[in-house]
Amino acid sequence: MKQTLIQTHSRIKPFIHKTPVLTSQLLNEKAGCNLFFKCENFQKMGAFKMRGAANAILSLTEEKRKRGVVTHSSGNFAQAVSLAAQKLGVKSYIVMPENAPQVKKDGVKTYEGEIIECESTPQAREATANKIKEEKGASFLHPSNQDEVIYGNATAAMELLGDYPDLDVILTPVGGGGLIAGTALAAHYFSENCKVVGGEPMEADDAYRSLFSGKIETNDSFHTIADGLRTHLGDRNFPIIQKHVEKIIRVEEDEIISAMQLIWERMKIIIEPSCAVPFAAVLKNKEEFKNKNIGIIITGGNVDLKNLPF
């Protein structure tokens, strides 16, 4: 597996940025620990998703690439697949819920992805994507529950650990589970004893419940500002999470908003609400992280600027 992750990184390198790691003395003081923010909001198309999308398309045969790719996503993976496909000369079909942020729909169009809108339920997304897969013969790329995507996502934490090998913990938000699973693999294979912890909104705490019940739970409520975290885990990433993720910390909506605002104000960077979830988890559990070296993956910066929560 370690070799697979190294090969993945070298395969996607020409298609991604090695993103910077930023620190803030003021936020360190506020949190009581040393924070290292891996800024995937500076990634191509503005999110870590470019890593998994690029690896998934590069892993397809020439024959499959000719028939195009299809995915369903509320935004970031949609943009990642359309950009990666555009760079590789592959046609992309993107199924998006009708209530996806306009800024994300515009992003997909910029990268020549063909948008097919559907109802905002996981069932509708999957049904629409399957229909296109059958009609066009396109290869389906899953935003979070596909090995190639998980391995691509792992490269963010690999880079972070390459720069800062002494991290005690890396935190990521948990939505579909593809990032935290990749991060957990990276920490397992590329660090001595770095733990991986997830942050999740109370309003969409399916992963937290899944770890307790031992089976994949779903959400009845999706009323969270963290629009990237409204999906549930999958059968490819859940076993990795069960094995390698230490725990998941849940945070309230006001904690997410206040953590987001702090990063905007103090670090002068644009982050989307989902990225603020792991930082909110650190602020909520200061005792647990006290004086430790903490990596946080800032997952993306694709925000509708006309619709900010503060």
Q: What residues act catalytically?
A: 49, 74
Helix (H) or strand (E) holding 232: none
What whole-number distance in Å separates Cα of residue 57 and Cα of residue 52? 9
Tokens (6 digits) for 78? 């949609």
67 phi and psi angles, rounded to 5 deg: -90, 0
Residue with tokens 């940025």: 17
Residues 84, 53 contacting (CB under 8 angstroms): yes
How far apart CA 122 and CA 73 sit, in angstroms, is: 10
First to last CA, the chain: 43
Query: Around 247, how many Cα atoms within 13 Å sit in the side-chain half-sphere?
Result: 7
- Listing from the earlier edge strand, what are the strands of the sheet with 114-118? 114-118, 92-97, 69-72, 139-140
Among 194, 191, 176, 297, which residue's Cα sits nearest to residue 236? 176
| Euclidean distance between CA atoms 230 and 205, whole angstroms | 9
Is 70 exposed, middle or buried, given 0-12, 13-18 or 19+ CB atoms closer than 10 A? buried
